[in-house]
């Protein structure tokens, strides 16, 4: 039905009508054709043509069909039968009687093979059927293609009426499966429609040949899914690439190259299996063709202009990719197996997660290429958006606006590709103007299993790749045991990307020869599949046999290529043995060449700027576009701009202005600023308004921050797709590329960041520790309980704080460099600013630091418009800086000895507290101190404040519940700050978020306890554990460690925890005996809500009651 309907639809437009006639007529003389098309053209202008439905010859033909069908449904072709049955056809009033000026089909003077007469209905039916069959193959041929190397899913061929066995079955051909053609029709010539290229130079072919060619193209080792693509041009492009005769012919040189690459891929796994038989490596066996496949994609892309490829991939085949695609030195890879300690900072990661970056000559294209594999966590697919962000950033910095020079390749497992939602979320970034990377090639290493689970139980979609259909990406399924088919698909994929700059997917259907890892037993769960696998020859052997049989190479050559590679491996293996340490820096995926060199690692550049700069930015930010007369701005926004201008004139800034000052001044200094997130252009709370929209012209916008200075850096602010996971991952990736950029992601409300939790846990908080990779990404998280109910109240700051790596029990040495050393040592910064000026400074400090740390910033909602939450320009101009703590500057601060109570707090509750204090007239009795930078904890300033108010009671007041907010983080740190001591109850381990250590993976550490040598290893990798079992008298100072350490020239923090600990110990302060100092000094108590399960109450009245209670409690003496 669909086919017939399509044919019919084609008849509707004059052009389509021509097409229709063209394919129907086998050999019409040009004159006849001209007559027919002229008639069609005339029809365009007659009254009938104005009808929205068909007319003319086709219409009358359809009507004839319809009438015949009404009389006897079996008298018409099954396609017409189905069509009319579907009620899709309604006879329009103008169809009968036939208009006098229309041309019935019989007016065509058929010539050539059809005898120069009007075609009979069988001829037409047969042509329609052939076209429908061609279309069926194109649309659904993949359903019957021979994709499974194990043959488990491969369907048997069926014998057609003509006696030939074919794969295309009912699923493919539907109503045409038992089509009317018999053997007698097989030699009949059929005109080929313009939507097929199987004919090559031939305009018509015998039916038998048509079917054979279609079988070969669509139901062989490649299954192409593309007919859902809405663009006819793209569909035709793909048809041409697969249907043109001879596309799968490879030259002997090409074949030998494939064989050589496959030999390396296979040899690498075999070598590792031989040398490290009990190690997990997540080998590629069963899908080794992925390596030549990636190389082919890179070769073709390089040939087409790509200079840099950024890859993201999971565990499977990762080492092989590093070795044979990136050409990472084999000895560096083998060193990872040796369980060596690291020579540099960081806790490291397991070998099959590490990234790399390599620049090398592509020998095939003779062009230089950069290859990066982005380090990834165990969380499958989490790296996808990170890779995209990094790619986008690299394109941006190279001015590669169309993605011609930089591209990304994402490699997936079959189970993860369909199972993980972030794949879908990432796909949806693919065509967004500010997020597109102009086409990603996705490669699925489809081994038809996920750990122990069959696809039958892990997905509801027919293919693991169906998610890609949503973005109209063509999907090329291919049997991984057919190297030439795979190479062809890869070539097409690379050309597709270069032509259309859209995503596409290669589904390499292979198998997994071993268990999930090399130690797993797959027969427990997939016995039948593995019986087959055990008998199945590997791809290399199959291909070598084929090439030998056809005479492309000899058995000796095959052997010698393999032996040569094994030699290379042996040499690298010997070299690896001489290594004593691994270096994490060798595994860095985003080196920042030049950034660290020549920098004083303890120097922060000033963050205040000249007042005239602030005024200039303020004036620009509050002005309409230069063509204001034509640009119609919303009246409400004119008021916003006017209010901004008034503030600038008064030299004060509210939140939005403070932010604009930070952005504008950085842009002036050549720092690219990129802000992304849901609705960030306006701002969720309608306070930002960076993009002004012309009220009468679509897409006419003005962004003043892009027009501050003629030579400024680019500013980009982008409303994102409604995804946190992918977008935060993307921005993290973006921030990895260039340290000289301020990249910010804003959550709509802070709580929504939890849907990006894997990015936060796996990348942002632990990335430097695991992968020596730094990022200065800023997360803006609206936070604060304002009676809006439990949602939207909390960014769950307690979780971020719990992941902060500063030691609660350790007071670092006090010096002028206290703050910067703390920042250097921690994994990220968590802050909650109460003033626009401090917000401005902390943003600028991100760039002023000589290193990069992620910044987690609780941002306000009501403070955006709070009359007191404003800062004078003097707090942002030269000489001013970020205040980690804002002391009480009122009567209490001026007369500290009279103060009875000091209330420490953070965030917006400060304004409630001061209001209550004023109401109660306790300004001299109670000091309120704001902790603006919560982590790393300002031990030094807290101590200073506590000393200032010697006689006062100390409390921490927070609006969040006791088990939430900052209390659990600040409490032990307050005790340490107040008593300058270490806690007794903790063992000696310094906090560190990344919970793996150095080079040895966790499993090995656990099993290591079995042997003496291994327990030594354990002691090395977990010194705190061994210390727990030493006598107290042994655990004093470590004579080998310096009493105080200077940061080395390369500014790596001391590499091992015990060294770091001693390095941090204040000079002259001896370690406490056994680390046991009891805390008997001052205390801090908690004021606020009790513990709670939800972040806030749903009742506004209750919220106010609770808030008042805590304010009363805090502000009382
Ligand atoms: C988000 C996430 N959930 C669960 C796991 C645990 N896990 C590791 S590998 C794996 C199976 C992956 O299967 P597939 O994607 O097909 O890749 P394959 O291992 O078969 O190459 C699972 C469930 C994980 N790593 N990440
Ligand atoms: Mg799998």
pLDDT tens digits along 905-924: 999 999 999 999 999 999 99
Residues 428 and 297 in one domain: yes
Question: Ligand 1, residues 416, 513, 519: which to mutate, most atoms within 8 A of Cβ?
Answer: 416
Structural domain containing residue 843: 611-875
Q: What is residue 339's predicted lDDT score, i.e. its pLDDT?
A: 77
Which ligand has the nearest atom to the CA of 284? 1
Q: How confident is the model over 243-265, as a mean pLDDT?
A: 97
Lowest-confidence range among 448-457, 859-868, 995-1004? Answer: 995-1004
Q: How confident is the model over 240-245, as a mean pLDDT?
A: 98
In the three-class reduction of DSSP (H, G, I as helix; E, B as strand; rest coil), residue 1070 is classed as coil
Instruction: Tell me how far apart the alpha carbons of residues 1073 and 1026 are, in angstroms, rounded to a whole number.
Output: 17
Tell me, what CATH number does 1087's domain have?
3.40.50.11610
Evaluated on CA atoms 292, 298, 301, 305, the torsion sign reads negative
Question: Ligand 1, residues 312, 320, 415: which to mutate, most atoms within 8 A of Cβ?
Answer: 415
Return all residues near 534 (Cβ < 8 A) that are at least 6 apart.
none
Residue 348 lies in a domain: yes
**To 5 degrees, how large is the angle CA 1039–CA 1044–CA 1047?**
120
**Residue that has been written with the tokens 């699925």 in this structure:** 444
DSSP symbol at 825: H
Residue 135 lies in a domain: yes
Residues 212 and 292 in one domain: no
Which ligand has the nearest atom to the CA of 417? 1
Instruction: Tell me how far apart the alpha carbons of residues 894 and 139 are, in angstroms, rounded to a whole number.
Output: 81
Residue 1022 lies in a domain: no
Neighbours of ion ligand 2 (CB under 5 A): 413-415, 447, 449-450
Residue 993 lies in a domain: no
Closest residue by Cα to residue 747 from 759, 739, 736: 759
Instruction: Tell me how far apart the alpha carbons of residues 648 and 642 are, in angstroms, rounded to a whole number.
Output: 10
Instruction: Tell me how far apart the alpha carbons of residues 958 and 1087 are, in angstroms, rounded to a whole number.
Output: 7
Q: Quick check: CB of 286 below 6 Å from ligand 1?
A: no
- Average per-residue pLDDT in the chain? 84
Residues 391 and 454 in one domain: yes
Give how far Cα 173 sits from Cα of 82, 136, 142, 157, Å.
14, 6, 11, 13
Residue 1099 lies in a domain: yes
Per-residue model confidence as pLDDT tens digits over 824-849: 999 999 999 999 999 999 999 999 99
**Ligand 1, atom nearest to 412 Cα:** 15
Q: Whole-prediction pTM value? A: 0.84
Q: What is residue 84's predicted lDDT score, i.e. its pLDDT?
A: 64
Closest residue by Cα to residue 789 from 747, 749, 746: 749
Lowest-confidence range among 513-522, 696-705, 1072-1081? Answer: 1072-1081
**pLDDT-based confidence at 765, cuts 50/70/90?**
very high
**What is the tally of helices (H) and strands (E) in the chain?**
39, 30
Closest residue by Cα to residue 27 from 138, 116, 149, 155: 116
E strands along 480-562, which residues? Answer: 504-509
Between 17 and 850, the more confident residue is 850
Widest CA span in the chain: 115
Closest residue by Cα to residue 859 from 728, 687, 715, 651: 687
3-state secondary structure 882-910: CCCEECCCCHHHHCHHHCCEEEEECCCHH
Return all residues near 594 (Cβ < 8 A) that are at least 6 apart.
none
Which run of H or E residues covers position 726?
Answer: helix 725-737
Q: Quick check: CB of 316 below 6 Å from ligand 1?
A: yes
For residue 603, report the distance from its CA to the centre of ligand 2, in Å: 49
For residue 511, report the distance from its CA to the centre of ligand 2, in Å: 8
Measuring from atom 2 of ligand 1, which residue has the nearest CA?
A: 379
Query: Contact 511/533 with Cβ under 8 angstroms?
Result: yes
Residues 525 and 618 in one domain: no
Per-residue model confidence as pLDDT tens digits over 1069-1096: 344 333 334 445 789 999 999 999 999 9
Evaluated on CA atoms 989, 990, 993, 996, the torsion sign reads negative
Q: What is residue 233's predicted lDDT score, i.e. its pLDDT?
A: 96
**Ligand 1, atom nearest to 382 Cα:** 1
Instruction: Tell me how far apart the alpha carbons of residues 409 and 787 are, in angstroms, rounded to a whole number.
Output: 46
What is the radius of gyration, based on Cα positions, of the chain? 35
Query: Contact 727/675 with Cβ under 8 angstroms?
Result: no
Which of 166, 201, 231 is the endpoint of a domain? 231
**Residue that has been written with the tokens 């009480």 in this structure:** 888
Residue 958 lies in a domain: yes
Q: What is residue 983's predicted lDDT score, i.e. its pLDDT?
A: 36
3-state secondary structure 369-388: EEEEECCCCCCCCCHHHHHH
3-state secondary structure 646-715: HHHHHCEECHHHHHHHHHHHHHHCCCEEEEEECCCCCCCCCCCCCCEECCCCCCCEECHHHHCCCCCCCE
Cis peptide before 97 (omega within 30 of 0): yes
For residue 473, report the distance from its CA to the centre of ligand 2, in Å: 21
Instruction: Give the pair of three-digit tokens for residue 348.
Output: 């490291």
Per-residue model confidence as pLDDT tens digits over 347-357: 677 777 788 89
For residue 378, report the distance from its CA to the centre of ligand 1, in Å: 8
For residue 380, report the distance from its CA to the centre of ligand 1, in Å: 6
**Ligand 1, atom nearest to 447 Cα:** 20
Q: Quick check: CB of 416 below 6 Å from ligand 1?
A: yes
Q: How confident is the model over 386-403, as a mean pLDDT?
A: 97
Residue 304 lies in a domain: yes
CA 981 to chain centre: 44
Per-residue model confidence as pLDDT tens digits over 400-448: 999 999 999 999 999 999 999 999 999 999 999 999 999 999 999 999 9
**Ligand 1, atom nearest to 446 Cα:** 16
Instruction: Tell me how far apart the alpha carbons of residues 351 and 354 are, in angstroms, rounded to a whole number.
Output: 6
Q: Quick check: CB of 449 below 6 Å from ligand 1?
A: yes
For residue 312, report the distance from its CA to the centre of ligand 1, in Å: 15
Residues 337 and 359 in one domain: yes
DSSP symbol at 210: H
Can you name the residues that pair with 652 across neighbouring β-strands?
872
Q: What is residue 990's predicted lDDT score, i.e. its pLDDT?
A: 43
Q: What is residue 177's predicted lDDT score, i.e. its pLDDT?
A: 73
In the three-class reduction of DSSP (H, G, I as helix; E, B as strand; rest coil), residue 229 is classed as coil
Which of 847, 875, 903 is the endpoint of a domain? 875
Which of 553, 580, 595 is the endpoint of a domain? 553
Residues 836 and 902 in one domain: no
Tell me, what CATH number does 714's domain have?
3.40.50.12470
The number of C-alpha atoms within 13 Å of 1038 and in the hemisphere containing its C-beta is: 16
Measuring from atom 20 of ligand 1, which residue has the nearest CA?
A: 450
For residue 383, report the distance from its CA to the centre of ligand 1, in Å: 13
Per-residue model confidence as pLDDT tens digits over 60-109: 566 666 666 666 777 777 767 766 666 556 554 333 333 333 333 343 23
In the three-class reduction of DSSP (H, G, I as helix; E, B as strand; rest coil), residue 875 is classed as helix
Which ligand has the nearest atom to the CA of 418? 1
DSSP symbol at 340: P
In the three-class reduction of DSSP (H, G, I as helix; E, B as strand; rest coil), residue 933 is classed as strand
Question: Ligand 1, residues 286, 319, 450: which to mutate, most atoms within 8 A of Cβ?
Answer: 450
Q: What is residue 363's predicted lDDT score, i.e. its pLDDT?
A: 84
Rounded-to-10 torsion of CA 533, 534, 538, 539: -20
Residue 435 lies in a domain: yes
**Ligand 1, atom nearest to 316 Cα:** 21
For residue 369, report the distance from its CA to the centre of ligand 2, in Å: 30
Per-residue model confidence as pLDDT tens digits over 533-586: 999 999 999 999 999 999 999 999 999 999 999 999 999 999 999 988 887 778
Instruction: Tell me how far apart the alpha carbons of residues 643 and 656 are, in angstroms, rounded to a whole number.
Output: 12
Instruction: Tell me how far apart the alpha carbons of residues 230 and 250 are, in angstroms, rounded to a whole number.
Output: 32
Residues 532 and 658 in one domain: no
**Residue that has been written with the tokens 């380090």 in this structure:** 375
The number of C-alpha atoms within 13 Å of 671 and in the hemisphere containing its C-beta is: 22
Q: Quick check: CB of 451 below 6 Å from ligand 1?
A: yes
Instruction: Give the pair of three-digit tokens for residue 1029.
Output: 């079992």
Closest residue by Cα to residue 173 from 205, 141, 220, 197: 141
Residues 711 and 857 in one domain: yes
Between 381 and 97, the more confident residue is 381
Residue 38 above 90 pLDDT?
no
Can you name the residues that pair with 1085 across neighbouring β-strands?
955
Per-residue model confidence as pLDDT tens digits over 180-196: 567 788 889 999 999 99
For residue 299, report the distance from its CA to the centre of ligand 2, in Å: 26
Residues 901 and 959 in one domain: yes
For residue 352, report the distance from its CA to the centre of ligand 2, in Å: 16
Instruction: Give the pair of three-digit tokens for residue 789.
Output: 């109910």
Between 1074 and 804, the more confident residue is 804
Give how far Cα 441 sits from Cα of 255, 310, 408, 491, Å.
23, 11, 7, 11
Q: Quick check: CB of 413 below 6 Å from ligand 1?
A: yes
Residues 789 and 923 in one domain: no
Between 995 and 388, the more confident residue is 388
Residues 305 and 216 in one domain: no
Residues 216 and 263 in one domain: no
Query: Contact 407/301 with Cβ under 8 angstroms?
Result: yes
Q: Is 279 exposed, middle or buried (0-12, 13-18, 19+ CB in 10 A)?
A: middle
Please count the structural domains in the chain.
4
Q: Quick check: CB of 447 below 6 Å from ligand 1?
A: yes
Q: Quick check: CB of 379 below 6 Å from ligand 1?
A: yes
Tell me, what CATH number does 271's domain have?
3.40.50.970
**To 5 degrees, how large is the angle CA 105–CA 106–CA 107?**
90
Instruction: Give the pair of three-digit tokens for residue 763.
Output: 């990348």
Measuring from atom 1 of ligand 1, which residue has the nearest CA?
A: 379
């Amino acid at each position: 039905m669909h086919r017939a309907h399509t044919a019919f639809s084609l008849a509707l437009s004059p052009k389509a009508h021509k097409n229709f006639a063209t394919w129907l007529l086998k050999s019409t003389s040009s004159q006849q054709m001209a007559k027919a098309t002229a008639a069609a053209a005339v029809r365009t202008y007659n009254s009938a043509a104005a009808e929205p439905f068909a007319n003319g010859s086709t219409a009358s033909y359809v009507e004839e069909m319809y009438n015949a069908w009404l009389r006897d449904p079996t008298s018409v072709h099954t396609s017409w039968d189905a069509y009319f049955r579907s009620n899709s056809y309604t006879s329009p009033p103008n169809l009968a009687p036939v208009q006098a000026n229309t041309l019935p089909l019989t007016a065509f003077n058929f010539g050539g093979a059809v005898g120069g007469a009007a075609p009979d209905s069988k001829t037409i039916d047969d042509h329609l059927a052939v076209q429908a069959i061609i279309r069926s193959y194109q649309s659904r041929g993949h359903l019957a293609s021979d994709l499974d190397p194990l043959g488990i899913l491969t369907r048997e061929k069926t014998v057609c009426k003509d006696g030939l066995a074919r794969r295309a079955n009912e699923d493919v051909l539907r109503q045409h499966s038992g089509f009317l053609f018999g053997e007698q029709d097989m030699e009949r010539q059929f005109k080929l429609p313009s939507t097929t290229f199987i004919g090559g130079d031939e305009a018509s072919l015998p039916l038998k040949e048509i079917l054979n060619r279609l079988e070969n193209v669509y139901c062989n080792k490649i299954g192409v899914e593309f007919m859902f693509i809405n663009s006819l041009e793209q569909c035709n492009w793909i048809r041409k690439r697969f249907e043109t005769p001879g596309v799968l012919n490879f030259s002997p040189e090409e074949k030998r190259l494939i064989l050589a690459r496959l030999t390396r891929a296979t040899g690498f796994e075999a070598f590792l299996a031989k040398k490290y038989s009990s190690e997990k490596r997540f080998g590629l066996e069963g899908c080794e063709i992925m390596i030549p496949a990636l190389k082919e994609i890179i070769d073709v892309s390089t040939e087409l202009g790509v200079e840099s490829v950024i890859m993201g991939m999971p565990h499977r085949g990762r080492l092989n990719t590093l070795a044979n695609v990136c050409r990472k030195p084999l000895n560096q890879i083998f060193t990872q197996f040796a369980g060596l300690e690291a020579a540099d900072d960081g806790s490291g990661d397991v070998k099959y997660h590490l990234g790399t970056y390599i620049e090398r000559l592509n020998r095939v294209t003779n062009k230089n290429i950069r290859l990066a594999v982005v380090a990834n966590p165990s969380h499958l697919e989490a790296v996808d958006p990170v890779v995209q962000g990094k790619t986008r950033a690299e394109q941006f910095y190279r001015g590669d606006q169309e993605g011609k020079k930089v591209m990304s390749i994402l490699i997936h497992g079959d189970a993860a590709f369909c199972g993980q939602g972030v794949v879908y979320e990432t796909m949806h970034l693919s065509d967004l103007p500010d997020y597109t990377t102009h086409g990603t090639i996705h490669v699925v290493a489809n081994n038809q299993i996920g750990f122990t689970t069959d696809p039958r139980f892990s997905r509801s979609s027919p293919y693991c790749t169906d998610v890609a259909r949503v973005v109209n990406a063509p999907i090329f399924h291919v049997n991984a045991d057919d190297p030439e088919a795979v190479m062809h698909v890869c070539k097409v994929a690379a050309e597709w990307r270069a032509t259309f700059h859209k995503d596409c997917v290669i589904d390499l259907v292979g198998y997994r020869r071993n268990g999930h890892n090399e130690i797993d037993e797959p027969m427990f769960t997939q016995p039948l599949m593995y019986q087959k696998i055990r008998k199945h020859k590997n791809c290399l052997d199959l291909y070598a046999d084929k090439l030998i049989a056809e005479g492309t190479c000899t058995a000796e050559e095959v052997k010698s290529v393999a032996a040569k590679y094994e030699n290379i491996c042996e040499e690298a293996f010997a070299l690896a043995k001489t290594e004593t340490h691994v270096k994490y820096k060798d595994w860095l995926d985003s080196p920042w060449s030049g950034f660290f060199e020549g920098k004083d690692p303890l120097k922060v550049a000033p963050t205040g700027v000249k007042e005239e700069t602030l005024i200039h930015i303020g004036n620009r930010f509050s002005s309409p576009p230069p063509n204001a007369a034509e640009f119609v701005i919303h009246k409400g926004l004119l008021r916003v701009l006017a209010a901004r201008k008034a503030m600038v004139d008064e030299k004060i800034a509210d939140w939005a202005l403070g932010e604009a000052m930070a952005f504008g001044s950085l842009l002036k200094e050549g720092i690219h600023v990129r802000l992304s997130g849901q609705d960030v252009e306006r701002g969720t709370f309608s306070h930002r308004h960076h993009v002004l929209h012309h009220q009468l012209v679509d897409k006419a916008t003005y962004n003043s921050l892009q027009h501050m200075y003629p030579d400024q850096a680019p500013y980009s602010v982008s409303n994102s797709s409604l995804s946190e996971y992918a977008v935060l991952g993307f921005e993290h990736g973006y921030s990895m590329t260039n340290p000289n950029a301020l990249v910010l992601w804003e959550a709509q409300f802070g709580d929504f960041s939890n849907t990006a939790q894997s990015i936060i846990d796996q990348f942002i908080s632990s990335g430097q520790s695991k992968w020596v990779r730094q990022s200065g990404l800023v997360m803006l998280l609206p936070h604060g309980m304002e009676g809006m109910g439990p949602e939207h109240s909390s960014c769950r700051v307690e979780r971020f704080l719990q992941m902060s790596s500063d030691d609660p029990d350790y007071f670092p040495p006090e010096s002028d460099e206290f703050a910067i050393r703390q920042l250097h040592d921690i994994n990220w910064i968590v802050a909650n600013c109460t003033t626009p000026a401090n917000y401005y400074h902390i943003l600028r400090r991100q760039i002023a630091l000589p290193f990069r740390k992620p910044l987690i910033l609780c941002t306000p909602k009501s403070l955006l418009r709070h009359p007191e939450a404003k800062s004078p320009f003097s707090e942002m101009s030269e000489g001013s800086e970020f205040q980690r703590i804002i002391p009480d500057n009122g009567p209490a601060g001026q007369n500290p000895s009279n103060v009875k109570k000091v209330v420490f707090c953070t965030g917006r509750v400060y304004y409630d507290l001061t209001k209550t204090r004023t109401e109660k007239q306790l300004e001299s009795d109670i000091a309120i101190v704001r902790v603006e930078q919560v982590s790393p904890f300002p031990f030094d300033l807290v101590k200073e404040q506590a000393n200032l108010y010697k006689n006062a009671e100390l409390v921490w007041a927070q609006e969040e519940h006791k088990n939430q907010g900052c209390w659990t983080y600040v409490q032990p740190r307050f005790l340490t700050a107040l008593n300058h001591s270490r806690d007794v109850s903790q063992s000696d381990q310094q906090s560190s978020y990344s919970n793996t250590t150095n080079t040895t993976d966790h499993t090995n550490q656990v099993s290591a306890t079995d042997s003496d040598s291994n327990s030594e290893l354990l002691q090395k990798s977990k010194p705190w554990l061994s210390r727990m079992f030493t006598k107290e008298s042994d655990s004093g100072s470590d004579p080998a460690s310096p009493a105080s350490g200077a940061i080395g020239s390369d500014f790596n923090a001391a590499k091992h925890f015990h060294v770091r600990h001693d390095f941090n110990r204040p000079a002259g302060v001896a370690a406490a005996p056994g680390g046991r100092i009891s805390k008997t000094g001052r205390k801090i108590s908690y004021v606020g809500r009790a513990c709670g399960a939800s972040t806030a109450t749903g009742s506004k009245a209750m919220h106010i009651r609770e808030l008042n209670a805590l304010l009363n409690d805090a502000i009382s003496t």
